Amino acid sequence: MATLLLTYFGAFEGVPYNPTRVVARRAADLLAVSAPDLTVHLKELPVEFAGSSRVLSEALDAYEPDIAISLGVAAGREKVSLERVAINLDAARIADNAGAQLTDTPIHLDGPDAYFSALPTRTIYEELNRTGLPVELSYTAGTFVCNHVFYELMHANQGSIPAGFIHIPLSHPNHAPETLKQDAGKPIRAHADTGGVESGELPTLAEGQLAAIIEQSVLITERA
């Protein structure tokens, strides 16, 4: 029986509600029906440079997944972004949740400058785009904890399993398409370092649609 490790994040500066948690859980529910032979392990990673490395490593060792996908949120993006490149760099204008604010810091001193995703990103994009789903290929995951986790994931598995990173936009509940799901009094802000788009616009997609896109991405990866 194949196993999937699906990771997600909690809140961080500018994103008081992180939709990756609910989207990961809803995607797991969908996969329980569409891929009953696939065991899905969900894991929340801390929005911390060092902490995310530790928790991700522990999860990879504990579950030994056949597929590993990390989810992150990119405020301001309009589509689900299939990230293709992780770079060996931590650099952000905001601190992580442990208070670490890094500038031009290599993730691994002895690591390559970049890794490419080991997910079939082109195939996923072409199949889902053909059906009209809001997906895109992306060549920057930012330089905050999302890119950090993406790089660490690729560094850990060295291409031995299909693994990679997917950014989702902000979300809204299925029944309230015009409502951003966020904590009152805590405004959402997009940061380019976190993969966001600093345009002033904050598009959202329905949580159900986001979960279905992740489900389909996993199914396509299994077939590839």
- At residue 159, the pLDDT reads 93
Higher pLDDT, 157 or 184: 157
The residue from 48, 83, 152, 215 that is catalytic is 83
- Given a cut of 80, is residue 185 above it in pLDDT? no
Q: pLDDT above 90 covers what percent of the chain?
A: 89
Which sign does the torsion angle of CA 45, 9, 224, 27 carry? positive
Q: What is the pLDDT of residues 125-138, one digit of tens each?
A: 999 999 999 999 99
If one compares 139 and 172, the residue with the highest pLDDT of the two is 139
Rounded average pLDDT over 51-71: 98
List, as own/partner pairs, every contact residues 196-200 make where C-beta atoms lie below 8 angstroms and the sequence separation is at least 24, other chains included.
196/14, 196/74, 196/75, 196/76, 196/77, 196/142, 197/74, 197/75, 197/76, 197/77, 198/76, 199/76
Q: Which residue has the higher pLDDT, 184 or 38?
A: 38
Average pLDDT over residues 74-83: 97
CATH class, 2-223 region: alpha beta
Query: What percentage of the chain exceeds 70 in pLDDT?
Result: 95
Of the listed 58, 64, 78, 146, which one is catalytic?
146
Query: Among candidates 164, 169, 160, 168, which has minimal Cα distance to 149?
Result: 164
| Per-residue pLDDT, 181 | 46
Rounded mean pLDDT of the chain?
94
Q: What angle do CA 125, 80, 114 make, to 5 degrees?
A: 75
Catalytic residue flag (residue 83): yes
Active site residue 207: no
- The confidence band for 188, taking pLDDT boundaries of 50, 70 and 90, is confident
Instruction: Sketch the domain layout of the chain as residue ranges.
Output: 2-223
